[in-house]
Structure 1
Amino acid sequence: MNWDVIKNVMPFFLEGALVTLEVSLLAILIGTVLGFLICLLRMSHNKILNSLAFLYIWLFRGLPLLIVLFLFYYAAPFGITLSAFAAALFAMSLNATAYKAEIIRSGMMAVQKGQIEAAEAIGMTPSQIMLRIRIPQTIRLIIPPYINNSVVLLKESAQISVITVPDLMLNAQTQYSSTYLPLETLGVAAVLYLVMTSGLMLLQSWTEKKLKTQNNNK
């Protein structure tokens, strides 16, 4: 292990790691917001809206992220030319939206029907039921699959290096091609990926403990 090489390349790796975090966290945030909206459409009694949401989820869960990346970067619709970062963010956000929508829907469906009927019986409006009953319980139920999917998305972000986004993976590949030292380049990149994904896992554990404590105090 050549520590001098690691010391020299570490600034490039940290810059790449910041790009990885930026695009991943933005995609998770956008995917959560849009996923919630797609979830509502998927649960709608309107057959057209329901079908459109189903088709969206089917399409972006079924397509490999790499193909979506290439399509946005090399063949964006309407003659639009996207930067590598924008193409990566669009592709990852659309991918995240499909998965987050299904995760949120599973949580929504798990809320006991009796609670919804009781809320309706006392005159609560649909928006009140959503805000006071469905969403709080859904959040508690979906934390494990939600964080797991976020971890997967962060790892899959390594694929954005193929369209020249200067993320951790691309910087590691660049340094390896100039040094031919796999442990000092790809190995260190692997450690940084583990640090980032471990951060999400720790967030999951902390959130679950926090919610458990709140439930015990009620």
Structure 2
Amino acid sequence: MDLDFSVVWKNLPTLLNAAIMTVVLTLISQFIGTIAGFFLALGRLSRMAWLRGLVWTYVWIFRGTPVLLHLFFVYYAAPMFGVTLDAFPAAIIAFSVSSAAYNTEIFRAGLQAVHIGQIEAAQAIGMRYPAIVRKILLPQAVRIIIPPYMSNFISHTKNSSLASVITVQELMLTAQAIYSSTYRAIEILSATGVIYLCLTSCLTGLQVLLEGQMKFEERGLSARRKRLLKVIDGEPVAIAASA
């Protein structure tokens, strides 16, 4: 087999420009899916049965069906109901609703891992629910959420290649156009795979960084936290002064 990777170097700028579209598509849809998933997770934990059922149905449908179907319905079926979208916003919507479904369950698991006693104690001293979520639930849930959330983020990045089926000029569609004209599928697809690997490796590195920031027992208290808690050499000021 005669491989010629010089075609990769000639088309590398085009592939990298397409990779930017992939990054933009992934970041926007994941951001929307994160925000939506968080509030849907709160809905799953609501005391209102109708709201829990509504969110559960959403998660059941969009987590149980392929992203490819979501893309087809938003781009091809929506015009039947009078809603016509360009390829890029249609991909954003399809990927966002899919991402939100997965993120809902990830966030719910993290929030439920916080002991109910802490929530009851906060309610006993008069804290409102938004303050409980912000000051008690989220700081503890984030540590649990990071690994599955970042895994979903990586899968979401790879799934962005499906946007090629509705003509979004992202990395995979661009690669297909290049090897269709050069007849060098192996070389172009190999380069495309390396670019995807670089993108997902960045997310893996971000995951390692975030997990390291969450290891409070290993890192100890920061200088700012020690000042807030008035801690000297690992002991509260009052105890250190009395020793």
CA displacement at 1:213 relative to structure 2: 4.7
Deviation string for 1:54-96 (max 9, x for gaps)?
1111110011000110111111163111111111110000000
> Do structure 1's residue 22 and structure 2's residue 24 form an aligned pair?
yes
Q: Give the alignment partner of residue 117 of structure 1, picking from 111, 117, 120.
A: 120
Give the TM-score normalised by structure 1: 0.95
Q: Which amino acid aligns with 1:28?
A: Q
Query: In the alignment, what sits opposite 1:170?
Result: 173
Q: How does 1:80-99 map to 2 (within 5 A)?
A: 80-99=83-102
**In the aligned structure 2, how far is the partner of 1:215 from the partner of 1:102?**
29
Query: In the alignment, what sits opposite 2:147?
Result: 144
> Do structure 1's residue 68 and structure 2's residue 70 form an aligned pair?
yes
Give me the identity figure in percent: 45
**In the aligned structure 2, how far is the partner of 1:113 from the partner of 1:216?**
27
Q: How does 1:183-198 map to 2 (within 5 A)?
A: 183-198=186-201
Partner secondary structure for residue 123 of structure 1: coil
**In the aligned structure 2, how far is the partner of 1:104 from the partner of 1:188?**
35
Query: In the alignment, what sits opposite 2:39?
Result: 37
Structure showing the higher helix proportion among its residues: 1
CA displacement at 1:192 relative to structure 2: 0.2
**In the aligned structure 1, how far is the partner of 2:45 from the partner of 2:5?**
55
**In the aligned structure 1, how far is the partner of 2:78 from the partner of 2:140?**
39
* Long gaps (5+) in structure 2: 222-243
* Long gaps (5+) in structure 1: none
**In the aligned structure 1, how far is the partner of 2:218 from the partner of 2:138?**
16
Partner secondary structure for residue 126 of structure 2: coil
Relative contact order, higher structure (CA 8 A, sep 6+): 1
Aligned-residue Cα RMSD (Å) equals 1.4
**In the aligned structure 1, how far is the partner of 2:213 from the partner of 2:46?**
32
Runs of 4+ in structure 1 displaced over 3 angstroms? 213-216
CA displacement at 1:50 relative to structure 2: 1.1
What number of residue pairs does the alignment pair up? Answer: 218
Bigger Cα displacement from structure 2, 105-114 vs 70-79: 70-79
Partner secondary structure for residue 75 of structure 1: helix
**In the aligned structure 2, how far is the partner of 1:102 from the partner of 1:80?**
30
